[in-house]
Amino acid sequence: MRYRIVRTVDASAIDGLGHTNNTVYIGWCEQAAWEHSTDLGLSLSDYQSLGYAMAVTRAVFDYRKATYEGDILTIDTWLSSIEKRLRMKRHFRIASETNGLLVGEGEWDFACIRLSDGKPSRMPQAFIETYTAAITS
């Protein structure tokens, strides 16, 4: 299941070069990931109650086009795999509604950790059931 959020580039997102700062896109991807997870039924408070979380172990983002103040962007995210009940892969695609161009694409790898000690752990059943049901290509 793909999930979409929409963001408008405001003045606070603009850097010294006059376009959206690259770190802003990463922040929007994180927001999309959390909103998607919450929509699926696993919020930050659920992670805390269960004592487990999905932590980013690798993040890649390819920037294609710059954006500017006032541009309207769609940020799509989806899960593509769960491996050995420990790892998960999430994808991102940012496009401009203003001009229809691809702004960037990203891929993040996650590992399940226990919140008590930060060590890798197999996913709790709630993670497996929820995230497996959301996998798409």
How many other C-beta atoms are found inside a 10 Å radius of the C-beta of residue 98? Answer: 15
Quote the longest CA-to-CA distance of the chain: 46
pTM assigned to the model: 0.94
- pLDDT of residue 28 exceeding 90, the answer is yes
Cα distance between residue 61 and residue 114, in whole Å: 27
Q: What is the pLDDT of residues 56-99, one digit of tens each?
A: 999 999 999 999 999 999 999 999 999 989 999 999 999 999 89
The CATH number of whichever domain residue 100 belongs to comes to: 3.10.129.10
Q: pLDDT grade, residue 8 (50/70/90)?
A: very high
Q: How high does pLDDT run on average in the chain?
A: 97
First to last CA, the chain: 9
Domain of residue 111 covers 3-134
Task: Answer for the pair 107, 60: CB distance below 8 angstroms, yes or no.
Answer: yes
Name the one residue in this structure whose structure tokens are 């700062």.
21
Q: pLDDT grade, residue 137 (50/70/90)?
A: confident
Q: Number of folded domains in the chain?
A: 1
